[in-house]
Amino acid sequence: MMTTIEKAELRARDGSALAIQENELGELLSVSDPAGRILFEYDTSTGRGTVHIEGLAIRSSARRVELACDRELAISSPEIVALRAGKSALNLSPRKAELSSPRLESRIGEMDYRGERVAAKVEEAEVTASRMEIVAGRVLRWARTLYERVEGLFHSRAGRVRQESEEAYLIRAERARIDCQEEVKVQGKTIHLG
């Protein structure tokens, strides 16, 4: 047996109340505390429910759950905090953080990273920048094949320069000049000039 209640209100001894009100599309069921603050609302026309906690609202509908807060929000756990959406996941534990996703997009105005070690292993990497500066105590590069192309000036300054080639060494230019203030040595089994 079903009973229809219109514009009804049930009130407890402490002043908290359960009310049903009509709106344009259906009915609105609400629960309030003794001070009259809404704790829970359910709209029968949309099937959407909202839980209200001081400063926090949890809204739920058929395909969406929304968490809204008007102040600082903190989520803490002594073990693991996990967020998952399809194949994307963020796992936070006391010892590490893990982020996995088929695709990651990040837009950051300014980033400052400080750490002890960074390791990256990718199949392909591309960096586009108007200016790039690298300051390091030591730089090591290992490659099977290395190509560099500079449209303007390529300038290198060092205390000493040493280049080694196991096979051939080729310099090709319209004009070439070697300027040395002291001694120049050329050694080889056979030397061809001209």
pLDDT digits (tens, 9 = 90+) for 12-40: 899 899 999 887 778 889 999 898 888 88
Percentage of residues of the chain with pLDDT beyond 90: 51
Residue 78 lies in a domain: no
Residue 115 lies in a domain: no
Cβ atoms within 10 Å of 50's Cβ, excluding its own: 18
What average pLDDT does this structure show over 185-191?
90
**Torsion angle of the four alpha carbons 134, 140, 142, 147, in this order, in degrees rounded to the nearest 10:** 40
Q: Which residue has the tokens 């309030």?
A: 32
pLDDT digit string, tens, across residues 110-167: 999 999 999 999 999 999 999 999 999 999 999 999 999 999 999 999 999 999 999 9
pLDDT (0 to 100) of residue 21:
86
Report whether pLDDT(47) > 90.
Answer: no
pLDDT band at 92 (very low <50, low <70, confident <90, very high): very high
> Structurally, how many domains does the chain consist of?
1
Long-range interactions of 15-19: CB distance < 8 A, separation 24+: none
Domain residues for the domain of 41 are: 8-69
Residue 59 lies in a domain: yes
